[in-house]
Amino acid sequence: MDLEHPVKRLSNAYSTPTIRGCSSVNIFGISLKQRLRWLLDDPVGQRWSVAAVVLLGLLVRLWVCWVHNQLQPNNATWLRGDEPGYNNTALELLAGYGYTYPGRVPLYPVWLAGVHWLTGSSYHAVRYAQAFVGVGSVLLTYLLGRRLFGHLPGLIAAMLASVSYILIHQSIHLLSEVLFTPAVLLAALSLWRAIQQPTTGRFAVAGVWIGISDLIRPTLLFLPLFLLWPLAVQMGWRRAIRYASVIAIGVVVVVGPWMVRNRVRYNAWFPLATSNAILWQGSPEYYKLIHEDGYTYIRIWNEVLYGPGWRTHDPTSIAGDRYWTARALKSIRSDPGTYLKYAAEKLGTYWVGDPNADWNNERVFSFGALRRIGFSRGPAVQVMIARALPIFTLAAILILWPQWRRLLPLYAILLYCTALHAATHAEVRLSEPLQPILLVILAGAAFYQWHQLRESKRAIQHL
């Protein structure tokens, strides 16, 4: 395995950039150039710089939570979308009913129930508590960036994560993203480390973190199978099969008890939770309702999935889940061409947003659409920037192409999630927990390009 890639050699260069034009500025007798070198090179200075970025991320999140709390009552009336479902499950746990809803996995409701118990069901306190959890994504973004590219690119990626509108607002919603985002970063970190220094124990740890993420949101359940390809590229098929099996065992150890519990309670095997008709929402039937019959995303939910008599085929029930899956498969078999066409569209809409679900039934990247949804001008600009990040990341991947093998674990996670949602249902909220990985790739590409330009300049000066 090629561990001596240029990016690895660049990590030292990233931590000691040439700082010109700063020596004349003195702060308490120390030049700005010396101060910057201390922050970039000295281990103590590096820790202080990381602490400052994390503290910034925490303060911004706490401030946003405080502002939001001033505008919302301290009760459940402000909950929207999937929030009431998570909240009701948490309250049922506190009341001693256990898990009565097969459409959710356990860890986020457990977290929410714990905060309710500690705070006397203060919804304002939930936001503050989630701010402390959410800022963990900032630190993990730094750690991932540092492992891949060095201290300074990691710090820049963490800075971007600390002020990211999307990541900040995870704290104010009662949704699983606030836990799922750091769990995905931990899975990425452990997987990258295992591939760089392969041992059975490291791959088992990666499997455990993937399993934990599955108990928050079951997105990565089949990732061990997908990892066969990048592992084979790195170490050959024999070792790839071995280590992918170790990852799968780690996942099963974590999620197995929950699957057994579901089997005992519902007398049925199903992958962690019911799918809420997610495959049908990616089927030709759904596509034709949107593009030919004039349905909107909300109208489908109100009139088709949850229309008159919806309890007969409740998408969250075991029987309903099977009904909608069978209906989706029938639709796909009858019109595979439309299914493939729709899947190709979702390769993009997963990242930049679905015109119907995310852009108010208007075109993608319509600033006016965001304003009409209810975003004020400043947040609308920030959302536009966030949804453009994947496009810039594609350019960054091209810049980092010489290092593709080294970055393959990150690419594998991004490709797996994209393919999964292209095959089923895609909207931008589902890709937002992957934003820190995009920020790491962007920061790495920027500094790789900077290093290349600097080397070119030195070569010209020596001519």
The pLDDT tens digits for 135-180 are 999 999 999 999 999 999 999 999 999 999 999 999 999 999 999 9
| Of 209, 237, 142, nearest in space to 436 by CA | 142
State the chain's mean pLDDT as an integer.
Answer: 90
pLDDT digits (tens, 9 = 90+) for 318-346: 999 999 999 999 999 999 999 999 999 99
| Contact present, 98 and 109 (Cβ < 8 Å) | no
Q: Report how far apart, in Å, the C-alpha atoms of 22 and of each of 25, 205, 345, 448 are.
A: 6, 45, 49, 23
pTM for the model = 0.90
| Contact present, 256 and 215 (Cβ < 8 Å) | no
Annotate 148-181 with b (16+ C-beta within 10 A) or e (fewer).
bbbbbbbbbbbbbbbebbbbbbbbbbbbbbbbbb
| Contact present, 40 and 152 (Cβ < 8 Å) | yes
pLDDT band at 12 (very low <50, low <70, confident <90, very high): very low
pLDDT digits (tens, 9 = 90+) for 31-65: 666 666 666 667 888 899 999 999 999 999 999 99
Distance (Å, rounded) from C-alpha 61 to C-alpha 164?
Answer: 10
More confident residue, 37 or 250: 250
pLDDT of 27 strictly over 90: no
